[in-house]
Structure 1
Amino acid sequence: MTRGTHEGTRMRRGRRGRRGGRRGRRRRRPRLCARLQRMRDFEVGFARTMAGRYRWQLTREHNAMLRARQREAEQRELEEKIQLEVDQKIEEGLGDEKQGDE
């Protein structure tokens, strides 16, 4: 930390004013220096910040999608079950008729 600049203090203070940022559970991964951080942000096209901002929307959409898929699967299973039952009934009916003919 260089003396005479606010850089270090700013870092220490962070978002929480006087109390200082970076409290609570610390990140395990070491922080990148500003230049590398900028490069990485640029590489990912700020996707991480966007994801943070819209994560709730994405999760909601994703959940909706999963729910729809689940519903479709259940519907399909139901239909298959019904079809099987119908087929069995038809076969039983045909069997009865055949026996009746003889």
Structure 2
Amino acid sequence: MAETQLTDKGCFISRDVKISILQDLCKYKSMKLIAEEHFVSSSTVSRVLRSTEIKISKKYLPRVLGIDEFKSLKSVDAAMSVNLVNNETGKVFDICTQKSNLRI
């Protein structure tokens, strides 16, 4: 695969397009509209958004853990998701979704 200064290694979408997608994500636009405007797929827009996620160590549980379930979006495989929050700081600890093919 050819490498260039415009793209990341193994990627076909330029850094400038990714930056433009991030700027549009800060506005009140749907991911589908952003994808159409940048001639990429909706999953590419999702990947660009996920690339900004701050990775935190999850080797521990907060002292006080808040749990709240909510209806997931159509783009998520599961019908419901769970929001885990550190109740002392108010920060989101994790958002978990159940894959529809799992059996509990």
Into which bin does the TM-score normalised by the smaller protein fall? under 0.3
TM value normalised by structure 2: 0.20
Higher RCO (Cα < 8 Å, 6 or more apart):
2
TM value normalised by structure 1: 0.20
Rg larger in structure: 1
